[in-house]
Amino acid sequence: MTLILDYEAGNLASVRRACAHVGLQAQYCADPDQLLQAERIIFPGVGAAGSAMRSLKQRGLDQALREVIQRGTPVLGICLGMQVSLTHSQENDTPTLNIIPGQVRRFAFDRKDLKIPHMGWNEVRVLQAHPVLAGIQPGDEFYFVHSYFPQPISNDAVLAVTDYEGEFACAVGKDNYIGTQFHPEKSAQVGLRLLANFAAWDGQC
């Protein structure tokens, strides 16, 4: 069973719809015991880092997530769901799950023409081949909406990068965990391809 982590009663319908479109029937889940039984897990982003971490802790989902990731269950984090997998986020000065050691930082530009949030379509350049990123061609673009970006300590965790006045990590991963800053569920055919890859992934790299 594939579960979509529903930790803040957020609007997750677009993720579920896109999964259904590629044949992945996913259910919402806010229960740690159920999470431990999952075959694979999608961890979408809702709201801000501070409130997301509070909700996860209140429900005991933070511990359950660490446990399933240790067990080898394939997990896909999206946007904020990816950001809380690092060690700390500048957003609300929040300690996060520490699955991928590193920081989440806010974009800061001197140039006034660079808008924050980074919103729209941008190129994803794959640095390390990964089963979930299979089929992404040079020049393929994905849809982004975010003001913060991940900065893993180890380059080994950086799977793909995107340029917005300098490169930032747009896909991070470690073992059976992968997270994207972009929204595959809003990224047309290439995004659906990524979700289909995740649906078939056994968690091995």
Partner 1 sequence: MLSKRVIACLDVRDGKLAKSVKFVDTKDIGDPVAKAREYYEDGLDELVFYDITASSDKRNIMLDVVEAVADQVFIPLSVGGGVRSVVDATDLRLAGAEKINVNSAAVARPELINECAEAIGNQNVVLSMDIQRVGVNPEQPSGYEIVINGGRTATGKDALAWAIEGERRGAGELVINSIDADGTKDGYEIALTAMIAEAVRVPVIASGGAGVPEHLYDVLTQGSADAALVASMVHYGDYKVSELKQYLHDEGLKIRIC
Positions in the binding site for partner 1 (CB under 8 A): 11, 13-14, 17-18, 21, 47, 112-113, 115-123, 139, 141, 143, 145, 163-164, 185-189, 191-192
Residue 205 appears among annotated catalytic residues: no
**CA 165 to each of CA 102, 116, 162, 181: distance values in angstroms, whole numbers, following the listed order:** 21, 12, 10, 16
> Residue 43 or residue 142: which is nearer to partner 1 going by CB?
142
Output the DSSP codes for 9-46: ----HHHHHHHHHTT--EEEE--HHHHHT-SEEEE---
Q: Which of 91, 118, 146, 185 is catalytic?
A: 185
Least Cβ distance, residue 193 to partner 1 (angstroms): 11
CA dihedral 13, 194, 79, 103 (to 10 degrees): 160
183 carries an active-site annotation: yes
Minimum CB–partner distance for residue 13 and partner 1 (Å) = 6
**Which of 19, 29, 79, 170 is labelled catalytic?**
79
- Closest approach of Cβ 12 to partner 1, in Å? 10
DSSP 63-111: HHHHHHHHHT--EEEETHHHHTTSSEETGGGEE---SS-EEEEE---S-
Cβ closer to partner 1: 153 or 188? 188
79 assigned to active site:
yes
Identify which of residues 71 and 106 has a Cβ nearer to partner 1 in the complex. 106
Q: Which of 8, 19, 29, 183 is catalytic?
A: 183
- Positions annotated as catalytic residues are 79, 183, 185
